[in-house]
Amino acid sequence: MGTHSSLARVILLEDDPTISLLYDGILRKQGMEVTCFSDIEPAIQFLTENHLQNQNIVITDLQLPSGNGLDFVREIRKVNKHIPILVITSTEDPKQIIEVMKEHVQEYLIKPVIPSELLSRIQYQLSNKEDVYVYSDYEREKIISLEKLLEWYSYKNTRIKKGDLNTNELHKNLFYGLRTSLAQGAGFGVLTQLIDLIKAMPKAENGGVILDLEILNILDENAIYSKKVLDRFAEIEDVIFDRVEIEEVSPIQLFNEIIKLKEEIQPLLQLKDQILLIPEYKGSNQNSKMIKWNAKYFKNILLELLLNAMRFSKNSSKIYFLFNFNSDGIYLSTINSYAEEEFSEKGISNDYLELIFEPFFRITKNIYEKHGSLDFGIGLSFVKQTIEKFGGTITALNLVDHTNDSKETKIEFKIFLPYSSSLK
């Protein structure tokens, strides 16, 4: 199980002492540290005391004499959104499986569980744990993302001409990131689980499957989500292959696009009772200058940044969109607070502020919510790649806000778009 197994700390909730002993022995043989519970109450107390900050994965049974394992899963998600949860159960009831899936459980295994299968699932989840992204060497991440974000096609061709391309390593790294992202969370990951579930459902007289309406609704929701993913990949491909038509517009047109978008996202702002603040336009003397853009892609860039801000900032917080001018071009900034405690004091380290623009890199695990955003670690890559097509740049910065009684760390995404005359 590689280096992960020697570091892995597992929470195991299983009321059957024989099965608990079996799982405990299997995991300890792999060098894991296991904390076992047979009752839901002490498990929830343990959870309340330490928020699972020092644990890597949770394994729980669903059928417990003292309560429902689903309640335990829900308690986990209240205090820790990211830790992988592996549910083991004897039930094949579709409704119960659906309820569990709604809580963003990573794995669902039906008893009896083969030990090798259990280890395989744990290994897969540990390989996708945050420390793979957060603690991996910065330069290694740059190689995996092929040094130029999504311009890996041009990188690949350059290396082929020079005769020093390791194609096998390149493809292995690229598709590992792709497979990992698509297998997690909503969309493709849920669809594959649902298909297995549907196969086991009751059959009609003609051999067809009697499909539960709730499953159909989840299928529909995740099919829509999957289509969004495919559409985003199509947009990325258009950017890479220069299929995006670029025109010139005045700064006021950019500003008007931002105002229109603010109205469109009002329902999303209300999800967490947030406010988007945009200052008045103060660039009337710059309206003779022109900026290169594509209306559709510019809107998608802004939407991606604002979705990012809404999802990762606190409830009832203010999100700022700033619009500043200098002699060479325009600066556009989104500024928002950090909802996650681990970032709220010091922000994100400088290395990771660079890495968040890399394909498939995520500071946190999937947090698919009602915002309808994609969560595969490709959104900010798309933003950076597209802005560079417009001749601009984007950077991420930690800011310390002193406007309130206590100082607060916030994150700023700052875009610079040069005037056409200053483009080289």
Same domain for 223 and 287, yes or no, is: no
Contacting residues for 214 by C-beta, under 8 A, at least 6 apart: 95, 98
The per-residue pLDDT string of the chain (424 residues; one tens digit each, 9 = 90 and over) reads: 333 444 788 999 988 887 888 888 889 888 899 999 988 889 988 888 887 778 889 999 888 877 788 888 988 888 887 788 998 877 666 667 667 777 778 777 877 788 888 888 888 788 764 443 333 333 334 334 333 333 444 445 555 566 665 555 544 444 444 555 555 555 565 666 667 667 767 777 777 777 777 777 777 777 777 777 778 777 877 887 788 999 999 999 999 999 999 999 999 999 999 999 999 988 888 888 999 999 999 999 999 999 989 988 889 999 999 999 888 999 999 999 988 777 777 888 776 777 777 766 666 654 445 666 655 567 888 899 899 988 999 999 998 877 777 778 899 999 999 998 644 3
Is residue 29 in a domain?
yes
DSSP assignment of 176-217: HHHHHHHHSSTTHHHHHHHHHHHHTSPBPTTS-B---HHHHH
Same domain for 68 and 9, yes or no, is: yes
Same domain for 340 and 390, yes or no, is: yes
Same domain for 354 and 256, yes or no, is: yes
Six-digit token string for 323 = 């619009």
Contacting residues for 324 by C-beta, under 8 A, at least 6 apart: 330, 331, 333
Total count of domains within the chain:
3
Domain CATH for 6:
3.40.50.2300
Same domain for 256 and 366, yes or no, is: yes
Rg of the Cα atoms in the chain:
24
Same domain for 260 and 369, yes or no, is: yes
Instruction: Pick the closest to residue 357 from 397, 311, 399 (CA basis).
Output: 397
Domain that holds residue 50: 2-127
Query: Contact at 8 Å (CB) between 374 and 381?
Result: no
Which of these three, 171, 205, 240, is where a domain ends? 240
Contacting residues for 176 by C-beta, under 8 A, at least 6 apart: 144
Q: What CA–CA distance (Å, rounded) separates 309 from 192?
A: 30
DSSP state of 113: P
Phi and psi at 59, nearest 5°, equal -120, 125
